Structure 1
Amino acid sequence: MDWWFEASRSKGTGIISSLSEVTGSSEAGIRLLLTLLLTYPSAFLHRKFLAKKEAELQHIFFILCGKDAIHSVVCIWVLHLNFLLGIPAVYTVAFQFTFQMFYLLAGYYFTESDTYDIKWTMPHCVLTLRLIGIAFDVYDGTKKPEELSPEQKIRALKQTPSLLEILGHAYFPSSFVVGPQFPIRRYLEYTSRAYSHIFLDENECVRVGIIRGLLAFLYLGLHFLGVLYIPTDHVTTSAFTEKPFYIKLLLIGLWGKLNMSKYLACWLLAEGSCIVSGLAYNGKTPDGKNKWNGTCNIELIPFETATQFSDMIRCFNINTNAWVASYVYKRLKWLKQKMVSHACALLFLAFWHGLHSGYYVTFLNEFIVINVERDFYEMYDRSKWGQKPWRSLWVKVPCIMLKTVWLWCGLSYCVVPFLLFKTWKWVTVYSGVYWYIHIIFILYPLYRGQLKKAMGRMAHKDKDEPAVLNGLAHSHSH
C-alpha cells in the first residue's frame, strides 16, 4: 500500500484530484483515506478464504497486501538478522531501539516539510514501534515468569518469531498505515486460529466494525465542513489576531476540535477494519458477550464528555500510549522518579512524531498541564469545596459546562504547535492570546498556597474516593 504515499509526491489527475478540490484536502490526504478504505476488502477476503488456513498462507497474504518498500524491508531484515546471529536479547533490545529510532529520525530529517507529511515515514513510524516491541517481547521471554509483570507475561515470546511472521505482523493491512499498535503475540494467536471460530461463525464483528467505520465518516464530515469555514492556517492570520481576546479563545477551542477530528476518523477507520478482520477480539464480558475492543484507539464517549485533561488523554490514541507506557515509561522504574520517567516518555513521543519544534512544545505542554492538574484536583478533593454538600445538581451542571469549555479551549491551545509544526506559526498564535495557558500553569506554584487557603481546611480523604491518576503513571499519555 506504500505506492499511495509514493504517488503523492506528484500532482495527481482524475478522481483523486477532483476529490481533493471538492473537499479542500490534499491529494495525499485523499490517498490516505482511500488506503484505509481498501483495508476493508482485504479483511473480508481474509475472513472468507484464509482465516482457517495454515498460518504461513495468512502471513503471505498480509505481506502481499502491503508493499516491499525499501525502508521497511531494511528495518525488518536488520531485526531478523539480529535474531539469526543469536545476539543476547538484552543487546538486541538496545541495538534495535537505537537503530530503528535513528532510521526513522533520518527519514524525518530528509523528508519533513512545512506541512503534515503523508509519505513513507507515516507507516514507518508505526513499524518502528512494532519492531522495537518485538525485540522487547523476545527479551521478556528469556526472563523467569516471576520477573515479569502481568502485562509482560501476556506479550512475552518464548520463541523468536520467524521472518515470515515478522513480515506478516508488519504488513497487516488494517494497521500498517496509521496503526493501531498491537503486540506480535496477538497477531500470532490470530493467525494460529486460536479464536477464529468466534469471528467466522458470527457476523457480530462485521456489524461492529462497520459501525466504527461509519463513525469515522461523521468525524471526517465534521473536519471537512469545519476547515471550509476555519482553515487550518486561519489562526496565524491577522484576521484572527485582531479579534477580541475571548473570541480568540473560543475560536481556538473550535479550531482544535475540528482539526483533531481527522485523527479520530483515521483511527476509527483502522479500528473498524481490525474488528471486521477479527483481530480485535478481546475475550468476553462477565455476562458472556464478545468484546471487540482489542485494537480500540479512541474511546469516543469518555473523550467527548471528559472535563479533565487527564481523562481525555487516557482515552486518546490508546494503543500508542499503551506501547509507550509498557516499553518506555515502565522500563524506567529503576529511576525511582515517576516525574522523570514521565518526562522521558513524553520526550520519546516527541522524537517519534518528528523533528518539528511543535511536537516538543506540545508534549512539554502536556507534561506541565497533567502534573499541575493532578496536584490541583488532589488538593480540591480534600478541601471543603470538594466535599459532597457542595456537589448539588444546581452547582454541578454549570461547573461541568464551564469545565468542558475550559478543557477544549485549553486542549486546543496545547495542541496548537502539534497542528501547525513551524515555530513562527505557533508563536504567532500563542502571542495572540498572550500565552495565557502557560502563565496560568507555570505560575501555579506561586499562587497554590492562596488557592489552597481559599478552598478551606483540608479534610480526611474517603477511603473509597478515587485519586486523580497521572495519565502515564497509571494509564497512558499521548
Structure 2
Amino acid sequence: MATHTTASCTGSTLLQPISDIINLPLDQVNFVAGQLFALLMAVWFRIYLHPSKTSPFIRHVVATLLGFYLALFCFGWYSLHFLVQSGLSYGVMVFAGLEHMHKYCFIVTLGYLIVCQITRVYVFDYGMYSADFTGPMMVITQKITSMAFEIHDGLTKREGQLTPSQKYLAISRMPSLLEYLSYNCNFMGILAGPTCSYNDYMAFIQGTGYRPRCHHSANGKENGKCKQSEPSSKNDVISKLCTCAVTLGVYLWLCKLLPVERCIDEDFVNNTPFHLQILYLYLAMLALRPKYYFIWTLADAINNAAGFGFNGYNKDGSPRWDLISNLRILDIEFATSFKLFLDNWNIQTSLWLKRVCYERCTINPTAATFLLSAMWHGVYPGYYLTFLTGIAMTMAARAVRHNVRPFFLGSASYKCVYDVLTWLATQVAISYTVVPFVLLTVGPSLQFYRSWYFGLHLVCLLVVLVLPVRSRRRLAREQQDAPQEDPQEDQDQDQDHNSTDNNCNQKDKAT
C-alpha cells in the first residue's frame, strides 16, 4: 500500500514515514501538512507583514511565493498548470478587447481546466489519488472568470446598468501581473480556496478592509471621533479549528463504517426493507459531509488568521469573520428545502455561479447554472447525472413551495409540521441526488437509481407537470406591479439555486 501511495503522489515524499505510520495516503498527509503550514504562515503574515509596516508590494510578493511553495510541495511539477492557466487568461485580459474579453477569458480558463481534468481522469491512472492538481485549478478558474466579468463591468458599463452587487465588485483598472498572481495563487487559498472577490482581497492586502468605529459619549450619542479599529480574529480562528478537529474525527470514524457503495450491493438491496435503505443512504451521506466541513473550515481559519475575512460587526459589537466562509453547518443539516441546503453548502461557489451565470444568462438560468456547475466539477459522468437530477429537484421543490406552503402558514403548529416534513424530504432528496456524485461512473449510478425505480425522478416529473409555477422573471414583474402580501415568502423565492448576495454589502449594514 505504501508503494502504491508513493507512486500516485506527485508532490513531496518527505512525509512518507508519517503516511506509513498513520496509514493514510501521502497526498492527504501532504495536504493537511500544507494547510497547517499555511496556518502558521498566516499568523506570521499578519504580525510581521502587517499593512501598517509593510507595503502592498511586499505582501503580494510574499503571499505569492508562499503559495507557489505550497503548490510545489503538494503537487510537484503539476503545479505549473496553475501558472499556465493564469498566464493564458491574463494574456486574454490584456490583449482582447474589453467588449468581449470576459467571454474569451471564460472559455479559455474553463476550457483549460476541462482539458486538465480529462487528461487526469482518462489518460493517467491515479488510483486512490484524491488531492489532485485540478482541485486548486477549480478555485483559480472561479477567481479568473470572476475577475474578467468584474473588469468588464467596471470598464465598459455605466452604473445604471449594474446591480448593486455588480457595482460593488466592479474593477476600475486592469490589475498588474503581480496583483493578479497574488490574488489567484496566494498561500491562504492555493490548496483549498475559498474563492473571494478581487476588491475584497485588495482591501485585505492594503489594510483597508476594516471599518472605523465611532466612540459614544455617556448619553449614548456619537462624539464625532472615529478611530480605525482592527478587530481580532483569534476567537473565530480557535472556534473554527475546534470545528475542524471534531469534523475530522467524525469523518475518520464514520467513513469506513458507512460506505455509499453498500447502497448498490445486491444482498443489501434484496434483503433490506426499503425504509431501512433510505435510512442507510441518509447516514452514509451524512458520514461524507464532515470531510468537506473539515477542509473548508480549515481554509476559512487560515484566511482569518492572516486577517482576511472580516465582514463587519454584529449588533452587540463583536466582529464577524464570515466574509469568505464556505458553509454553515447547522443550516445544512437542518435545511428544510433543497434551495436552503444549496444556499449554505459551498457558499462561495454558489456566489460565483450566481455572478457569472445565473444573473447573466437569459435562457433558463437555473438549468444553465447547474450545467456550468457540472462542467466545473469535472468530467466524471456521475457529476452530470447529479446536476441534471438537481435541475428536476429544484423545479419540483419550487413548485411545491409555491403551491403547498401557503396552506401551512395559518398557525405555528401547522408550520412546525411543514418544517419537519420538508426537512425529511430535503435530506432524502439531497442524498438521492448526490449518489452519482460519489459513485462517479454511469453503471453504479444507474444501478442505484434502478433499485429505487427512479422514484424521485418520477415524482419530480409529476409535480412539475401537475403543479403550476411562475418563472423567476414573471414573479419579479408581479411583485413590482402589486403589493407583497407575504414579504418573507417573496424574499425566500427570490433565487432558485444560489444564496442571496449579502457578502458584497453586509459590511456596511453591520457596522
TM-score strictly above 0.5: yes
Which residue is 1:72 aligned to? 82
Cα distance, 1:133–1:253 mapped onto 2, change above 3 Å: same
Q: Distance in 2 between matches of 1:231 and 1:60?
A: 44
Deviation, 1:286, is 4.7
One of 151, 170, 173 as aligned partner of 1:138: 151
| Cα pair 1:51 1:196 within 8 Å, conserved | no
The aligned amino acid for 1:16 is: S
| Cα pair 2:93 2:102 within 8 Å, conserved | no
Deviation, 1:473, is 6.6
One of 103, 117, 122 as aligned partner of 1:94: 103
Cα distance, 1:442–1:62 mapped onto 2, change above 3 Å: same
Deviation, 1:406, is 2.9
Q: Pairwise CA RMSD of aligned residues?
A: 2.9
| Cα pair 1:356 1:422 within 8 Å, conserved | yes
Question: Which structure 1 segments of 5+ residues have no match?
Answer: 450-459
Which residue is 1:466 aligned to? 489
Deviation, 1:131, is 1.0
Which residue is 1:348 aligned to? 372
Q: Distance in 1 between matches of 2:328 and 2:290?
A: 13
Deviation, 1:399, is 5.1
Task: Give the match's secondary structure for 1:472.
Answer: coil
Aligned ranges for residues 396-475 of structure 1 at < 5 Å? 397=416, 400-445=419-464, 448=467, 462-467=485-490, 468-469=492-493, 470-472=495-497, 475=500
The aligned amino acid for 1:471 is: D
Deviation, 1:297, is 0.8
| Cα pair 1:303 1:316 within 8 Å, conserved | yes
Q: Distance in 2 between matches of 1:43 and 1:401?
A: 42
| Cα pair 1:126 1:178 within 8 Å, conserved | yes
The aligned amino acid for 2:320 is: K
Q: Distance in 2 between matches of 1:426 and 1:9?
A: 35
| Identity over aligned pairs, percent | 22
2:134 pairs with 1:121: yes
Cα distance, 1:285–1:341 mapped onto 2, change above 3 Å: same
- How many residues align? The count is 449
Q: Distance in 2 between matches of 1:195 and 1:189?
A: 5
The aligned amino acid for 2:56 is: A
Deviation, 1:107, is 0.4
Deviates more, 1:92-101 or 1:285-294: 285-294
Q: Distance in 1 between matches of 2:15 and 2:450?
A: 38
Deviation, 1:248, is 0.8
Which residue is 1:456 aligned to? none
Which residue is 2:401 aligned to? 377
Encode CA deviations 1:62-120: one digit per residue, 9 max, x unaligned.
Answer: 111122732111122223333443x3222321221111111101001110267674211
Task: Give the match's secondary structure for 2:310.
Answer: coil
Deviates more, 1:183-192 or 1:432-441: 432-441
The aligned amino acid for 1:350 is: A
| Cα pair 1:11 1:27 within 8 Å, conserved | no
Deviation, 1:28, is 2.6
2:180 pairs with 1:166: yes
Task: Give the match's secondary structure for 2:321.
Answer: coil
Q: Distance in 1 between matches of 2:423 and 2:140?
A: 36
Deviates more, 1:416-425 or 1:224-233: 224-233
Q: Distance in 1 between matches of 2:316 and 2:210?
A: 21
| Cα pair 1:297 1:319 within 8 Å, conserved | yes
Deviation, 1:226, is 0.9
2:257 pairs with 1:229: yes
Deviation, 1:276, is 1.4
Deviation, 1:396, is 5.3
Q: Distance in 2 between matches of 1:424 and 1:442?
A: 23
Deviation, 1:141, is 1.3
The aligned amino acid for 2:180 is: I
Question: Which structure 2 segments of 5+ residues have no match?
Answer: 1-5, 73-78, 213-227, 469-482, 502-511
| Cα pair 1:342 1:473 within 8 Å, conserved | no
Aligned ranges for residues 190-339 of structure 1 at < 5 Å? 190-195=204-209, 204-242=232-270, 243-332=272-361, 335=362, 337=363
Deviates more, 1:207-216 or 1:351-360: 207-216
Aligned ranges for residues 36-115 of structure 1 at < 5 Å? 36-52=35-51, 53-67=54-68, 69-85=79-95, 87-112=96-121
Which residue is 2:217 aligned to? none
Cα distance, 1:402–1:377 mapped onto 2, change above 3 Å: closer
Cα distance, 1:5–1:81 mapped onto 2, change above 3 Å: farther
| Cα pair 1:93 1:132 within 8 Å, conserved | yes
Task: Give the match's secondary structure for 1:228.
Answer: coil
| Cα pair 2:118 2:379 within 8 Å, conserved | yes
| Cα pair 2:282 2:427 within 8 Å, conserved | yes
| Cα pair 1:303 1:315 within 8 Å, conserved | yes
Q: Distance in 1 between matches of 2:488 and 2:111?
A: 45
Q: Structure 2-normalised TM-score?
A: 0.81
With CA pairs under 8 Å and 6+ residues apart, which has the higher RCO, 1 or 2?
Answer: 1
Cα distance, 1:400–1:141 mapped onto 2, change above 3 Å: closer
Deviation, 1:174, is 2.0
2:32 pairs with 1:33: yes
Which residue is 2:219 aligned to? none
Deviation, 1:202, is 5.7
Cα distance, 1:84–1:344 mapped onto 2, change above 3 Å: closer
